[in-house]
Chain A
């Protein structure tokens, strides 16, 4: 029963993942990502990781997804779906790199699938009580992994500052480098919707 459910969830997760990368609008893509996250959370649950499943739902599906959706809604990126896409002209990575990368990935896939794993059955006693009981994890986090825990807090602090630096609106321009751009940034901000749409189209056609 659980096994069937796993394969169904795995299939759904892959389906959602395909949705993420093939959706025309960012909104659909982000919603597919949400689906994939939830499927994976259920897979974790089936595999005996209750705590991680919870964390996955709370942090990924909860916090990160809200962030994504917030930005998508804020920027009204739905407009972007009108812009024609050039699938192979990406980021300066050309067709060759693309084909090579995909081929290499398929190779990895085949390798992994064919890898013989000596012990396929998980410890049944462990399966019953789960692999990530809260108590041992909490103890490990505050003893053996105390230092990474503290490093993570620094990481979050730095990220917070980094995000604030990047996302807050630029103040009145002071450096000469900014002055050149200031007209752009502020003039644009009040441009009407049709202007924005025209700019978008121009950007896509270039």
Chain B
């Protein structure tokens, strides 16, 4: 028990989040639901403390051998800290969006912040554990909070329906994933990924005796992850849920929730198939998983981009575009090499920035025009240059053109693909980027190339300011690649992947 007490400081960020969650609950009750903005400010402040703790942890982890496992199941390493930091960042952005959403109620929405924090805690558990039980609990914590957030405007049919769809498909994926985990447990006798890779009944030993049950179990678990990160063929819930959910929630689902799914997926695949000193059977199996991921990646980016072409609603378009981006990240994973994984991490970081910004823009214009239709943007480009110019930056970055972080990410993915024998996939990605140019450009066209509209733009300086900051970061990290790349390298390195 004493070693548990000693390892408490290692999970200080989680503890701080829990305390913050309880504080939000109590403060909201004390305020009797009046003036929920105070709760929002409290949440922001608390997230600042959590970020401070995480930054301290990141610094501590710099020295070699500092990475450790506490409570027998939480891995304190730079990989998890990297994702936790980005989660806190995106949570803060989402809380800001809620605070600045002119169409949101000012009172009685304290639960909004509590559920966001709950989802964030779920992500914290998900990204840092190699124990499937805790992984599942984190995933469910994230999912259950997200269901409720998606249906937060329950008086709105679209919101309620989106939540219902999300719950039903989420339940299915949880069932499928749990069944897969139960089979993995039956095969290996453990629920810890490290033991699964090296224990007495390790997966490696089982490959030779019976590869088929192992394959079924792995595919079922991967299906659960594929749902979370909306990879074809488990993507069909995405556009409906993204469109129906309140826009700040959509940005949370598209950014934090999806990246958390990727983090857990990276750790799952990494711990099982890319371990140090893996023998031939494991490597062979890893190569097959890589091939599977490559095919899924090609399908996902192609279907996502083609479907996005036909959308008239910005939120739906961004939903399909986020499906396509999941395909790009998956491509980095599919190389099953640390260079590709670095690229995938880098792209995820880029994805955080540009998608948060794009959804911030949607929020801004929704409150002005009352809809997220691309047509309603017509001629508004020159009216609010502080927001529309950043949006152009985000769109350029989403397409993957210089000088933005999206370009650097795509370039790294392309090179990683070419280097690791996935030339065809790199070409598919390049073609897809060209396709995506068409629909991203439609927004630019509506904004700037139409007759200027009569409509006046009410100032929302705070929201515009946060969008502007995100755009600056998008360009900054596109020009100065080194720091972000170093962070990604350090994170992937801390997973201790084998030479492969």
Chain A contacts to B: CB under 8 angstroms: 91-93, 97, 108, 111-112, 115-116, 143-148, 151-152, 154-155, 157-159, 161-166, 170-171, 173-178, 180-182, 184-185
Q: Which of B25, B145, B236 neighbours the largest number of chain A CB atoms within 10 Å of its CB?
A: B145
Query: Of the candidates A91, A163, A176, A181, which one forms a contact with B103 in the assembled complex, judged by CB atoms under 8 Å apart?
Result: A176
A to B CB contacts below 8 Å, 20 in the list:
A91-B165, A92-B236, A93-B236, A108-B216, A112-B213, A116-B210, A147-B71, A147-B73, A148-B73, A148-B134, A151-B138, A158-B115, A158-B122, A158-B141, A162-B145, A165-B115, A165-B151, A170-B154, A177-B103, A182-B155
Q: Which residues of A contact B71 (CB under 8 A)?
A: 146-147
| Contacting residues, chain B, for A174 (C-beta < 8 A) | 105, 107
A143 with B145, Cβ < 8 A, contacts A92-B236, A148-B133, A151-B138 known = no
Q: Is the Cβ of B144 less than 8 Å from the Cβ of A162? A: yes
Given contacts A157-B25, A158-B144, A158-B145, 15 further A-B contacts (CB under 8 A): A108-B216, A147-B134, A148-B137, A151-B141, A155-B141, A155-B144, A158-B114, A162-B144, A166-B148, A173-B155, A175-B105, A175-B153, A177-B103, A178-B156, A184-B157
- Give the Cβ gap from B376 to chain A, nearest Cβ, in Å: 15
Contact of B18 among A143, A154, A178 (CB under 8 A): A154
Question: In the assembled complex, how far is the CB of residue A43 from the closest CB belonging to chain B, in whole angstroms?
Answer: 15
Cβ-based interface call for B168 (8 A): yes
Contact for A178 among B145, B153, B216, CB less than 8 A:
B153
| 3 closest residue pairs by CB, A with B | A162-B148, A158-B118, A178-B155
Is the CB–CB distance between B140 and A155 below 8 Å? yes
A125 to chain B, nearest CB (A): 18
Nearest residue, chain A, Cβ from B212: A111
Known contacts A108-B216, A111-B212, A146-B4, A159 near B138 by CB under 8 Å: no
Partner of B152, one of A116, A147, A157, A165: A165
Number of interface residues of B (CB under 8 A): 50
Closest CB-CB distance, A48 to chain B, in whole Å?
16
Q: Is residue B35 contacting chain A, with contact meaning CB distance below 8 A?
A: no
Given the complex, which residues of B lie within 8 Å of A176, measured CB to CB? 103, 370
Nearest Cβ distance between residue A149 and chain B, in whole angstroms? Answer: 9
A143 to B157, CA, bound (A): 46
Interface residue B227 (Cβ < 8 Å from any Cβ of A): no
- A147 contact from B74, B154, B370, Cβ within 8 A: B74
Whether the Cβ atoms of A151 and B125 lie closer than 8 Å is yes
- A-contact 0/1 string along B122-164, CB 8 Å cutoff: 1001000001011001101100110110011111110000010
Q: Is residue B104 within 8 Å, beta carbon to beta carbon, of the partner chain?
A: yes
Residue in A157, A161, A180 whose beta carbon sits within 8 Å of that of B148 in the complex: A161
**Is B403 among interface residues, defined by CB-CB distance under 8 A?**
no
A144: chain B residues within 8 A (beta carbon): 72
User: Considering the complex, which residues of chain B in the window 60-100 have a beta carbon less than 8 Å from any beta carbon of chain A?
Assistant: 71-74
Q: B227-266: which have CB < 8 Å to A?
A: 233, 236
- The verdict on A157 contacting B213 (CB below 8 Å), with A162-B147, A175-B105 known, is no
Taken together as a complex, chains A and B put the C-alpha atoms of A92 and B134 apart, in Å, by 33
Cβ of A33 to closest chain B Cβ, rounded Å? 14
Note all chain B residues with C-beta closer than 8 A to A166: 148, 151, 154, 163
A158–B255 CA distance with the chains assembled, in angstroms: 21
Task: Give the docked Cα–Cα distance between A152 and B108 (Å).
Answer: 26
Q: Is B329 an interface residue (CB 8 A)?
A: no
B72, B131, B137, B151: which contacts A155 (Cβ < 8 A)?
B137
- Once the chains are docked, how many angstroms separate the CA of A162 from the CA of B212? 40
B30 at the interface (CB under 8 A from A): no
Interface: B493 (CB within 8 A) = no
Contact B144 A159 (CB under 8 A): yes
Q: A91-B168, A158-B118, A158-B144 are in contact. Are A171 and B108 (CB under 8 A)?
A: yes
Q: Which residues of A contact B163 (CB under 8 A)?
A: 166
Distance between Cα atoms of A111 and B138 in the complex (Å): 31
User: How far does the Cβ of B132 sit from chain A's closest Cβ, in whole Å?
Assistant: 10
Q: What's the Cα separation between A3 and B80 when bound, in Å? A: 48
CA distance A165 to B74 in the complex (A): 31
Known: A154-B121, A174-B105, A177-B156. A162 touches B73 (CB 8 A): no
Q: Which residues of chain A are within 8 angstroms of B134 by Cβ–Cβ distance?
A: 147-148, 151
Contact among A93, A115, A147, A170 with B155 in the assembled complex (CB-CB below 8 Å): A170
